[in-house]
Amino acid sequence: MSSPPPPHDPRSTPSLTPAEVEAVARAAHAGQTDKAGRPYAEHLEAVAAGVRRRGGDDEQIAAAWLHDAVEDDALSARWLDEAALSRRTKDIVLALTRRPGEAPEAYAARILSTPGAALVKEADLAHNADPARLAVLDAATRTRLTEKYTRMRALLGLADPGV
């Protein structure tokens, strides 16, 4: 597994390209699987595609690739802070990073107060709640997750995906 690119020198202006962000995310989550046993990078790719379909910009797409990296300890908060990414991308990733013991209401409020974060979370929830993804889970897990995702959509003021 290759290591992430070196931290960003704030005196320089180059930023990670979209392909580099994708490569970092794939490497950081290499070997991880989702609840259905699928490679975790498939989820990241689906969220990035969902952001793109919803009209998201390159900063939001970069955040989509990295949205679980800090929360899952795939990349450190220090790496994110020093990475050659825009402040907006970093802020979106941090807004989407759940904190231990955090109430869903506080998490949703942080997302809503961070420009660009709600669109990334909407794409994340849409993929997480995809009936095909949920169908492979046991009934109890499927019910629990469906309720969790429905509640978060309501807290974020998002329409029911079936509408």
Q: What is the pLDDT of residue 159?
A: 80
SS3 33: strand
Report the C-alpha gap between 66 and 80 in whole angstroms: 9
pLDDT (tens digit per residue) in 22-72: 999 999 999 999 888 899 999 999 999 999 999 999 999 999 999 999 999
Q: What is the pLDDT of residue 35?
A: 84
pLDDT (tens digit per residue) in 112-163: 999 999 999 999 999 999 999 999 999 999 999 999 999 999 999 998 765 4
Q: What is the pLDDT of residue 161?
A: 65
> Could you identify the residue written with the tokens 């970069």?
62
Q: What is the pLDDT of residue 2?
A: 47
pTM, full prediction: 0.88
- pLDDT of residue 14 exceeding 50, the answer is yes
H helices of 16-162, in order, are: 18-28, 40-53, 58-66, 77-82, 87-95, 104-112, 117-128, 131-135, 139-155
